[in-house]
Amino acid sequence: MTNRVIMNRETPSLRPEARIGEALDSLYRHRSYSLPVVDEEGRYLGMYGVRQILARLLPKAVIIEDGLDELGYVTDTLEQLRERLHSFRGERIGDALDHEAPAAGGDAPLLETLLHLYHGATDIPIVDPGDGALQGAITPWEILAALTERTAPE
């Protein structure tokens, strides 16, 4: 079985010039952890999601390699986190895309996509290997819907 059979062809996407605030709204609206980012011709560029936003919200000292493992002693409040979000929500997302996120072709085996999801990926973009166009996406919801013979939620 290939990805094409169950992929969501109506997957929402972002543009690289979108602002972090817009991306955040879009992620919330679609209840997504991350969304594919495409250029004006629909070519897949990378993923942008909650992880990239959290990387900006958290101190750099915990994000960097060999950084701090614990932050239990930092007592920032929700209000302070909102202030921090406000300070960068106008920045464009194109500078912080995840180019390493796994992507798959429509004719690639579905089990390989399941393996990516098992390893922690939340959204697998389905990309045409020829022209790099975004064709759809597979999330755990498509998998669960297919397994239980339901329709994936919007």
Residue 79 found at the interface with other proteins (CB under 8 A): no
Torsion of CA 123, 127, 132, 133, to 10 degrees: -90
Closer to other proteins by Cβ: residue 17 or 76: 76
CB of 63 to other proteins, least distance (A): 9
For tokens 């697998």, what's the residue? 124
**118 binding other proteins? (CB under 8 A):** no
Task: Give the footprint of other proteins on residues 5-34 (CB under 8 A).
Answer: none
CB of 87 to other proteins, least distance (A): 11
Q: Which residues pair with 38 in a beta bridge?
A: 44
Contact 123, 13 (CB under 8 A): no
Q: In the set 42, 67, 109, 129, which binds other proteins (CB under 8 A)?
A: 67
Residue type at position 100: E
The three-point CA angle 130-132-134 to 5° equals: 125
* Shorter beta-carbon distance to other proteins: residue 7 or 96: 96
Q: Which of 1, 10, 73, 130 binds other proteins (CB under 8 A)?
A: 73
Give CA 66 to chain center in angstroms.
25
Q: How many residues can be counted in the chain?
A: 154
Q: Does 91 bind other proteins (CB under 8 A)?
A: no
In the complex, which residues of this chain contact other proteins (CB under 8 A)? 59-62, 64-68, 70, 72-76, 80
